[in-house]
Structure 1
Amino acid sequence: MEAILIAGIARRLLDELLRNPYRTVELRSARNVLAVEKAMEDLKKLFLTYEPFEDVRSGTEGLITELIEARELNMRVPWEESDEREVTVCRARIKLLGLGRVVKIERRDSIVVVKVREMLPQEMQIG
């Protein structure tokens, strides 16, 4: 199965998804926001992993989810806290489909698509 990579997700969120398969997540990383935008157009499948983007490779474990809906929000940032005045945040409603392990990584334009093998719970090493 192919899915769009969403990396650097907090372990707390991954654990919550395992307990409740529906969740709205808030993404602030520009890379992840662009990935969700692309997922709305094409695949509608996301692969969420705790690993930072640079460390994702064949064998990386995570959660396979379906993107139900997403929307972007522009939030103002107090000028004392940042050199920018606004930050784009994406709120994505997702549904857990299963556990997975990366088999192959492919860059497409500005996003990364991973081929994922679905796994059984006893095969997982994370969490």
Structure 2
Amino acid sequence: MRCYVLSGMAKGIIEDIMRGNVRTIELRSAHNIATALRVNLGECVFLTYSKTSDLTRGVSGIIAEVAGKEVVRQSLFYSSPHYIEESEMAVVRLRLNPRGVGRIIQIKSGELLEPIEAEVVEVTHFTAW
């Protein structure tokens, strides 16, 4: 199945999503925001702890369905006695429903800030060697 890839996720977050403890994640990294902006409700995403540069065939992670999406802009203020500084940051919140564990078969990544997609197969069992 074709999935959008969210990479560099913390292992603890991935485990919490699988257990159902966490339903909504906030994405702040530029490459994950670029991917999340393309995702529509009902589409699947593949979450992995591997970094973008390490995405290859065989990388494992979880498959989840997007149940909600929200784009939020946050303003941060910093002041000193001599000046006030304001910066704005975009955050994408995705509400996810976990579907299972998967593995990448083929990766399709574009240029910087383009969404990352992959052909993913769902893993229903593991074989001990």
Q: TM-score range by the shorter chain?
A: 0.7 to 0.9
Structure 1 segments (4+ residues) deviating >4 Å = none
Q: Extract unaligned runs of 5+ from structure 1.
A: none
Normalization by structure 2: what TM-score?
0.83
Following TM superposition, by how much is the alpha carbon of 1:79 offset from its aligned partner in structure 2, in angstroms?
Answer: 3.6
Deviations 1:76-98 (A, max 9, x none): 12346xx8701111111011011
Structure 2 residue matching 1:85: 3-state secondary structure = strand
Deviations 1:48-97 (A, max 9, x none): 000111111101000001111111111112346xx870111111101101
For the aligned residue pairs, the C-alpha RMSD in angstroms reads 2.4
**Identity across aligned pairs (percent)?**
27
Q: Is the 8 A contact 1:99 1:121 kept in 2?
A: no
Following TM superposition, by how much is the alpha carbon of 1:122 offset from its aligned partner in structure 2, in angstroms?
Answer: 3.4
Distance 1:119 1:55 in 2: 20
**One-letter identity of the residue aligned with 1:23:** R
Residue 72 in 1 paired to residue 76 in 2?
Answer: no
Which has the larger displacement, 101-110 or 46-55?
101-110
Structure 1 residue matching 2:40: 3-state secondary structure = helix
**One-letter identity of the residue aligned with 1:59:** G
Structure 2 residue matching 1:115: 3-state secondary structure = strand
Following TM superposition, by how much is the alpha carbon of 1:18 offset from its aligned partner in structure 2, in angstroms?
Answer: 1.6
Q: Which one has a larger percent helix, Structure 1 or Structure 2?
A: 1
Deviations 1:27-50 (A, max 9, x none): 001211121111117x71100000
The match for 2:16 is: 16
The match for 1:87 is: 89
Normalization by structure 1: what TM-score?
0.84
* Higher Rg of the two aligned structures: 2
Q: Count the aligned residue pairs.
A: 121
Which has the larger displacement, 21-30 or 86-95?
21-30
Q: Extract unaligned runs of 5+ from structure 2.
A: 80-84
Structure 2 residue matching 1:16: 3-state secondary structure = helix
